[in-house]
Amino acid sequence: MKIAVANGDGIGPEIMEAVIHVFNSAKVPLEYQFVDMGKWVFDKGFSNGMTPEAKATIEDLGILFKGPMETPKGKGVKSVNVTARKTWNTYANDRHFQTLNGVDTVFSKAGINIDLTIVRENIEDTYGGVEHMLTQDVALGRRFITRPGSEQVIRYAFEMAKKKGAKRITCGHKANIMKLTDGLFLEVFKEVAKEYPELNSDDIIVDDLCMKLVSRPETFDVIVLTNLQGDIVSDLCAGLVGGLGFAPSANIGDHISIFEAVHGTAPDIAGKNIANPTSLLLSGLSMLRHLGLMEQAVIIENALLYTLESGVHTGDFGDKTIPSVNTTQFSQAIIDNFGKLPKTNPRPHLNNFDFVPTNSKITVNPMLEGSHKEERKIVGADIFIESNLQPNAIAKIAIKHETENLKLNIISNRGTQVWPTGSVYTNLVNQFRLRFESKEDNTVTQKDVINLYSSLSNDFQISSIETLNMWAGKKGYSLAQGQ
């Protein structure tokens, strides 16, 4: 099988060489086609960090194995790592964190074994990167959480948990505050959970989750989260097992999957042959299992575990009374230990299975739509304006623009109600939300909203507008704090 390989930046080429040497020594039946991605490709003028030839190759082969990559700072370009995940819709970021004998942590020293998996939604959330300056003082970032996108990653998490033999799957969220966005994610989680009665499913507020992860990580098994929260929590979990140098990452999509090291490029040690290749090797083992190469994955992983258990280490970890080895020596030690089993948690033999790739030759963009088809009803609009007037003065002007069907209901500032009731102790910025709603939830047309916008623009600088929608009698918008 042929896969695409991108060496990455900094230490990327040397750790990739070490991992492929291990794979070749284990007779892994893969052929590698190297592609051009990373900072040096940005520097050549490719704004997405990859050449057109690289993009075509990856889409043709369906598997990308990549080293760490750097995005140039201060050049207005997007992260090549995020771009790759989003471009190819690798919607599930699967990261397995385990205690490794020979990698000392506060938990390993206490005899606490960690074996948990974080599944992070990989496409949506604030990572859409849709931001605007509404005034010179106020920036807005849009957060996209969709029903079909949430279902993709949550269903993957349940299927993976079932195959893993997990006893518990947990949804981390902040639905107590973000009732529509995180609330939708949690709602989908509960809907999918009904299809897997054999799994113990529960949910937890993300801040409580973080506290419990650093106090009792052994109580968790599989955790699924939205993108930003999952990004933070997965790095937290990496810290529990020794750092990003021991944290694999698999980005799974229906047509293309990416397996990568998620640590930095470490330019200060690049070319010195002293980097630790463990994270990339663990990501590579995730790739082998994804491809059905279970026998080779078990041989390599047991050899890695045996090597770590024996005290062999690069300079960034391990027993300092034992001399460290370089990158080449570390990978050779793993090869020399093929066939040996660690004393702690040896991996059982598993038979290979035939990998059946999804046909990646598609000609149109897939359209994701949920099954919920209730009729939309517009009942008002939120008009965001720029102003340094006091709330009562704004209301006095805004009321003049009311129509027979659209009446000013509230004014809020940074999400807190400041009119018709509020507190003089609420600090204000120069951007307000004027909420106009119809009487008795009467239907409002888009033209009504546009006419209101046009009328208000005679007296206010308008920053943005959102319609207030209802589906099946359920509000599709949040209330202000204090409303």
Is the pLDDT confidence value at 104 over 80?
yes
Virtual CA dihedral for 11, 16, 19, 25, nearest 10 degrees? -130
Averaged pLDDT for residues 467-472: 93
Structure tokens of 224?
Answer: 């699924």
| DSSP 8-state assignment for residue 407 | E
Taking only the tens place, the pLDDT of each residue in 189-245 is 999 999 999 999 999 999 999 999 999 999 999 999 999 999 999 999 999 999 999
Model confidence at 76, pLDDT cuts 50, 70, 90, reads: low
Sign of CA dihedral 264, 266, 270, 272: negative
Cα–Cα dist 313/324, whole Å: 5
Taking only the tens place, the pLDDT of each residue in 180-201 is 999 999 999 999 999 999 999 9
CA distances from 228 to 78, 158, 174, 251, 385 (A): 16, 20, 11, 15, 28
What percent of the chain stands above pLDDT 70?
Answer: 99
Spell out the CATH class of 376-475: alpha beta
DSSP 188-203: HHHHHHTT-TTSEEEE
Averaged pLDDT for residues 374-396: 96
Structure tokens of 279?
Answer: 């994270």
Any residues with CB less than 8 A from the CB of 156 and at least 6 apart, and which? Answer: 91, 92, 94, 119, 252
Taking only the tens place, the pLDDT of each residue in 120-152 is 999 999 988 899 999 999 999 999 999 999 999
Is the pLDDT confidence value at 269 over 70?
yes
| 3-state DSSP assignment of residue 214 | helix
Return the residue matching tokens 């006419």.
Answer: 451
Averaged pLDDT for residues 451-461: 97
| Per-residue pLDDT, 57 | 96
| Per-residue pLDDT, 362 | 84
Q: Which CATH superfamily hosts domain 1-90+266-274+287-354?
A: Isopropylmalate Dehydrogenase (3.40.718.10)
Model confidence at 360, pLDDT cuts 50, 70, 90, reads: low
Any residues with CB less than 8 A from the CB of 384 and at least 6 apart, and which? Answer: 134, 431, 432, 433, 434, 462, 463, 464, 465, 466
Cα–Cα dist 130/142, whole Å: 6
Is the pLDDT confidence value at 386 over 60?
yes
Model confidence at 250, pLDDT cuts 50, 70, 90, reads: very high
| Per-residue pLDDT, 79 | 83
CB atoms within 10 A of CB 264: 15
Model confidence at 442, pLDDT cuts 50, 70, 90, reads: confident
CA distances from 396 to 9, 179, 421, 468 (A): 59, 31, 14, 22
| Per-residue pLDDT, 198 | 95
| Per-residue pLDDT, 74 | 63
pTM: 0.93
**Partner residues linked to 2 by β-bridges:** 31
Is the pLDDT confidence value at 359 over 80?
no
What are the boundaries of each domain within the chain? Answer: 1-90+266-274+287-354, 92-252, 376-475
CB atoms within 10 A of CB 134: 18
Spell out the CATH class of 92-252: alpha beta
What percent of the chain stands above pLDDT 90?
Answer: 85
Q: Do domains 92-252 and 376-475 have the same CATH topology?
A: no
